[in-house]
Amino acid sequence: MTRMPGPLRFAAVRHGLVVIVLAAAVAGYTQIAGSFADFQLAQIAIYVMAIAGLTVLTGLNGQVSLGHGALMAIGGYSAALVMQHDPNGHLPLAVVLVIATAATAVAGGIIGVAAARLRGPYLAGATLALAVGIPQLAVARQFAHTLGGEQGLTVRSPQAPSFLGSSFSLEHWLSWICAAGALVVLFLLSNLVTSRYGRTFRAVRDDEIAAALAGIHVARTQVLAFVVSAASAGLGGALLGVVTSLVAPAGFTLVLSIALLTGIVLGGLGSIVGAVWGSILVVYVPQWSTDLAHSLSFSTVMGSYFAVAFYGLVLIVVMLVFPSGLQGGIVRLWGMAASRVRRG
Amino acid sequence: MLSVHDLRVSYGAVEAISGVSLEVPDGAVTAVLGANGAGKTTLLRTITGLVRPRSGRVAYDGVELTSLRAEEIVRRGVAHVPEGRGVIQDLTVDENLRLGALWRSDRDDRKKALEEVYELFPPLDTRRRQSAYTLSGGERQMLAIGRALMARPKLLLLDEPSLGLAPLITAQIMALLRQLSSESGLTVLLVEQNARSALSIADQGIVLALGKVVVTAEASRLAEDEDLRHHYLGF
């Protein structure tokens, strides 16, 4: 690797620059796109947080979680409960989000302690139980009163600050908030990955015995990965509540957990940039499939079948063409192009 | 001094070590020899906390190691290069080496240790930023030893360092272990199937058979004893 000049030597500076460029691109994009694009952008941003968090856990640390939708639920419900205890809205949204994130991080720590004793299929099974079980707590008789049962809890929408002008819509503001959250998560996680913690995560994933013999506390590393990953998912879940102004069990089904897992595999296991590709695919491809079904003027029933089948087809094709995920594929194509240029 | 007292280790119903007692003197090279299944690897794994003994004690410099976890034992100056080396393929040579000293707080000395390892292993020096995945078997063994040395151990345990290496590379690695011991006073405990090359550098030899110590003697005497060689060492 060649040495980069000046401040670019520091990974954190490079990550910061990328984040600034992305922020500018997002701001520009929302200026020209309509309100539906705003909603989609918010959705992608929410997935980016959860999928990037899952990438750290599964891709970098080797712990499979089929239950990240449940962690998003914890984040969403935490935000809703905090807002309920603050009916006049004194707390700024940022504070609510920080509390929700912290609450999910704590939950992640508890799950992580249990997970550190489980391996492979056992861990997958345990987290699967979380994905199914935790959202159902809201329906359980003991909690239905506090957590709102099937109907769920309402979440207050924030108001766009007045200095942005009266024509600045709420959707616009929400998409900006989500994008900002996603960029903060991406920045922090990218730095984590290139730090010594990132290296210990990978060492523990590849060889627990060697890691322990190198003086790394294996269980503590695994719990830390779970905490970081849960915090990211919790922020995403809280913002999902804010964007849809509702948290309900139906919003955090097993399908969500599976979609997150699909995202990390499609994007490229273990790559934070891949998490962004994965999120875009997981949000857009089902949308495109539905649009395509519409344009082919299928009946409603046929259309919905077609959409699902088309989504599956895209996933299969992507995995066949890019077995190491989109990011892996891009890196490989880039390498091939670069070596061709060098050879002339 | 490392002392192992009446150690018993079993995997389920199978007893791998049945009452082993031994002492590893400081500053010397001790070779543990024996056939497959003699309990050599289990012995090392129990010393460094990867396997829990059913009974018995392991102590180093008077400190009881038996109840400590692997990551705590390396902090007390006992490093272990595992069988198969345990190189992290996804990390670069440099990252692998630095992994071995992450727990140490002395930043300057971590840097110094790194440069010393590169000086010791020139092939690694030229591959600092290469992924460990691209290394040859001999280079991986160097990397694994280098990572263990990053902890600045007083006692270095090695599990079959010659495994899968060409004779010339094995000889180089053995010579290096001898040099580390003679020049820096490192204590080396070496587990080997390749008895001939292990005895060529060892001061003391311990022969294990079916989970028990059968002979402890000076290495040169072991190498000369034809009966013993024939029965236990296969050369």
| Domain B2-83+153-233: homologous superfamily in CATH | P-loop containing nucleotide triphosphate hydrolases (3.40.50.300)
Q: What are all long-range contacts of B128-133, with beta carbons under 8 Å and residues at least 24 apart?
A: B128/B92, B128/B93, B128/B94, B129/A1, B129/B92, B129/B93, B129/B94, B130/B92, B130/B93, B131/B89, B131/B90, B131/B91, B131/B92, B131/B93, B132/B87, B132/B88, B132/B89, B132/B90, B132/B91, B132/B92, B132/B93, B132/B96, B133/B89, B133/B90
Residues 6+ apart with CB under 8 A from A158: A93, A173, A174, A177, A242
Q: Render pLDDT for B82-93 as a digit per residue (tens, 0 to 9).
A: 998 889 999 999
Amino acid at A71: L
Q: How far apart are CA B141 and CA B84, in angstroms?
A: 9
Q: What is the pLDDT of residue A2?
A: 52
Q: Is A222 domain-assigned?
A: yes
Nearest to A192 by CA among A52, A83, A2, A70: A52
Q: How far apart are CA B194 and CA B212, in angstroms?
A: 19
Q: Is A147 domain-assigned?
A: yes
Q: Is A217 domain-assigned?
A: yes
Whether A236 and A47 have beta carbons less than 8 Å apart is answered as yes
Nearest CB neighbour to A207, from listed B88, B98, B104: B88
Amino acid at B55: S
More confident of the two residues B225 and B95 = B95
Q: Is A321 domain-assigned?
A: no
| Contact yes or no for A210 and B88 at CB 8 A | yes
**pLDDT of A1 higher than 50:** no
Full domain range(s) for residue A16: 6-253
Nearest to A331 by CA among A279, A269, A288: A269
**pLDDT of A4 higher than 80:** no
Establish if A5 touches chain B: CB-CB under 8 angstroms: no
| Contact yes or no for B75 and A215 at CB 8 A | yes
Chain B positions touching A209 (Cβ under 8 A) are 50, 70, 82, 86
Number of structural domains (chain A) is 1
Q: Is A231 domain-assigned?
A: yes
Q: What is the pLDDT of residue B85?
A: 87
**pLDDT of B233 higher than 80:** no
Whether A79 and A243 have beta carbons less than 8 Å apart is answered as no
Alpha carbon A335 to its chain's center: 28
The CB-side HSE value for B47 (13 A sphere, CA atoms) comes to 34
Nearest to A46 by CA among A63, A71, A25: A71
Computed over every residue of chain A, the mean pLDDT equals 91
Q: Render pLDDT for B105-121 as a digit per residue (tens, 0 to 9).
A: 899 999 999 999 999 99
Task: Tell whether ipTM is more than 0.85.
Answer: yes
**pLDDT of B51 higher than 90:** yes
Percent of chain B with pLDDT over 90: 84
Q: Is A202 domain-assigned?
A: yes
**pLDDT of B235 higher than 80:** no
Nearest to A123 by CA among A225, A217, A40: A225
Search chain A and give the residue with CA nearest B128.
A1
Within 10 angstroms of residue A300's Cβ, the number of other Cβ atoms is 9
Nearest CB neighbour to A203, from listed B49, B88, B103: B88
Q: What is the pLDDT of residue A173?
A: 92
Q: What is the mean pLDDT of the segment spanning A95-102? A: 98
